[in-house]
Amino acid sequence: MPRRHSEDRTRWTNVSCQGQLEPRKLSTNHQQIFSGGRAGQDTRHHLRDEVQSLLPTRRNELPPSPIPAKEVTTVALRLKHQIEQVIPCELEEDLITKPHSGIITDAVVKTASEAGGQDYKSCVVYGLLVCKRWFKRQALLELWDSDMHDVRAVACEVIAKRLIEGEDDQEYLLEDILLKRYSILIDGEESVPANVVERAVDLHALRVIGSSGYQKCIQYLWRGWLVQDDDDPARFVDYKEKTDTNYWSHLDPDRMRVPRYQNALQVIFSIVYLALYTGAINTVNPTGDLDVVEIVLYIFTLGFITDEFSKFWKVGRYYLGFWNIFNSTLYTLLTVSFILRMVALAHPLQTHDRHRFNELSYNFLAFSAPMFWMRLLLYLDTFRFFGAMLVVLRVMMRESLIFFALLIVVLIGFLQGFIGMDQVDDNLTATGFIVKAMLNAIMTSPEFDGFDNFAPPFGLILYYIFTFVVMVLLLNILIALYNSAYEDIAGNAIDEYMGLFAQKTMQFVRAPDENVFIAPFNLIELFCLVLPFEWWMPNDQYQRLNDYVMGVIYSPLLLVTAAIETSQAHTVRGNRSRNESDDDTIEEWEQVDVDFESDGWDKKVQASKPDVATDAAVAEVRKLRAEMQELKEIVLSLKSDSRASHQDGTNGA
């Protein structure tokens, strides 16, 4: 395998397994909550070792947490205790999440920010995400209080979001709060270091992901404005040439590590891959010979297969996801098509076998056409429309598991009954007919013809029951699940899209490769660099050779990216000269300066604006209380005056 300071960087979608990489046991007091048995702990220790090399680092070992893991754990436990006191019972989620919540008040947020003191305040947001995972785990263990623990988990997100958006120091926010990696103690050992950006993606913490500071961090990572420090892998620093307007300083092969450029190259390769397939399937070679288009198509396929295999080899089963299985199925069909073509070429021209295998090869190739076009959606998820739809599709596929689990049980039961009726006469002849009729019923096209003579009257009655169960019960359950999934995602489409975009960004950033060779360029790395040179060449020379090769193969794209970054450098310089953020843009309403205070408009607005922070009924009650207090003071004053006058009259008498 290639020499890497860290492992391959692209598309590690399921590495973190929703934030449950670490063993569950935390301490003696929390053993019930965070323990999962000895076998489960051994599995998690193995998984932690397995994914350790996938985290961003340029050394053979991960850098330690900048704050001792014991202190981070203490901060997390303080926060957990606070949230348990703030939410002592089951509450409606809206009371926690609504703006100007009466439960998550400014005082609560301020107290949470002080959980780490002055020395460890940068890990408070990370501690809140740790608490979220703990409460989610506790909700699974204590089903009778699951709603309360779920609300507490939501409270962790709400407080974390307010802390992120309330931080004014942008450099401190990005480098220390969001991107610095921390560990906690689990079974007396330090967990794998992770930062807030990674942990929020793992836990699908959409409120944290949707905060302004988090999104600014993601945008900086996506653009390559924040890069990993070569001297200290635990830190992310500003890209040094961000303000350099010299075109040639941006012509650097190392910039191919930028997520935006890698994604653009993947989209280009996907379009080229689709174009090659279109050319191959529309130019059938009756003789079975391979033309140039087909050869390039299969070379691309080999590169993609090698890429998928290497990732699965490094990550294990946690790498498998919907798109991985989808791509693997496509590559399998293409591999079968290629093998059949080779078998056809092994036969002489004008023979029946050569024609038959060649035709079968093209049939497999044509059969994969829908998958080629659907594969393109995987690389278009950076666009909001496609991204939201892909989230809906992913949730629907997950919900479909319930339907297929029920369907398989029903199918096996009825199939066994039909086959039992068929073999009563010791002659099993209608299996194909039975399977076809059952599949037609699943596809809402039942065939009742034939069952009236099939073990009458039992066969027809049983098929009626099967059709009713599948078409009326199970399919309506599936429709209800799909409808629920779509409503959940569509109602929260913006946050879901931001979560998907953050996940995609972290797939590139989380496990960077020192030398970026995107498939099918990974074949160049494997056969032209790794095998002939890596095993004997000194590291400095080998890295320089990789830079030369990347500079050549990526030169067309680098010419474009250098121009883009040069233009961005001018923009950043202009923004800094105006004391604005680097990514600031001047919109139409900002092009004309108007002093609202001098013309009196601001005073009128302030006098007429409503108090959105306070409910109208509460505001009226407060107003009434103030008036009652004023009335009370008047009555007391009158009473005091009356007593004084009465006392003066008595003294005069």
Series of mean pLDDT values for 10-residue runs along the chain (653 residues): 38 36 36 39 38 36 75 94 93 87 90 91 94 94 92 95 92 90 89 90 92 93 86 77 88 88 91 92 85 92 91 74 85 93 88 89 92 85 79 80 87 87 65 85 82 78 90 88 80 84 85 76 89 88 89 91 91 86 82 83 86 76 87 86 74 61
According to the model, what pLDDT value does residue 184 have? Answer: 92
Do residues 214 and 162 touch, judged by C-beta distance below 8 A? Answer: no
Give the domain-ending residue among 441, 473, 502: 502
Question: Residue 583: helix, strand or coil by DSSP?
Answer: coil
Q: Is 331 left (phi over 0), alpha (psi -120 to 50) or beta?
A: alpha
According to the model, what pLDDT value does residue 287 have? Answer: 82
Query: In this structure, are 388 and 372 located in the same domain?
Result: no
Give domain status of residue 192, yes or no.
Answer: yes
Query: In this structure, are 368 and 281 located in the same domain?
Result: yes
Query: In this structure, are 86 and 53 located in the same domain?
Result: yes
In terms of pTM, does the model score above 0.85? no
For residues 375 and 380, what is the distance between their CA atoms, to the nearest angstrom? 9
Give domain status of residue 54, yes or no.
Answer: yes
- Is it true that the peptide bond before 233 is cis, omega within 30 degrees of 0? no
Query: In this structure, are 420 and 334 located in the same domain?
Result: no
According to the model, what pLDDT value does residue 451 have? Answer: 77
Give domain status of residue 424, yes or no.
Answer: yes
Query: In this structure, are 37 and 171 located in the same domain?
Result: yes
Give domain status of residue 519, yes or no.
Answer: no
Query: In this structure, are 193 and 45 located in the same domain?
Result: yes
Query: In this structure, are 439 and 369 located in the same domain?
Result: no
The parent domain of residue 326 ranges over 257-379
Q: Where are the beta strands (DSSP E) in 281-374?
A: none
- Scanning 99-187, the segments in alpha helix (DSSP H) are 106-113, 124-141, 146-165, 170-172
Give domain status of residue 507, yes or no.
Answer: no
Give the domain-ending residue among 347, 379, 411: 379
Query: In this structure, are 427 and 306 located in the same domain?
Result: no
Query: In this structure, are 485 and 457 located in the same domain?
Result: yes
Which pair of tokens denotes residue 139?
A: 């909700």
Give domain status of residue 120, yes or no.
Answer: yes
Which pair of tokens denotes residue 158?
A: 């709400």
Give domain status of residue 67, yes or no.
Answer: yes
For residues 509 and 218, what is the distance between their CA atoms, to the nearest angstrom? 10
Give domain status of residue 249, yes or no.
Answer: no
For residues 389 and 89, what is the distance between their CA atoms, to the nearest angstrom? 37
Query: In this structure, are 399 and 466 located in the same domain?
Result: yes
Do residues 496 and 241 touch, judged by C-beta distance below 8 A? Answer: no
Query: In this structure, are 340 and 398 located in the same domain?
Result: no
Instruction: Identify the bridge partners of residue 226 per DSSP, sorted by sequence position.
Output: 238
Query: In this structure, are 62 and 198 located in the same domain?
Result: yes
According to the model, what pLDDT value does residue 389 have? Answer: 79
Give the domain-ending residue among 502, 519, 554: 502
For the chain, the domain total comes to 4
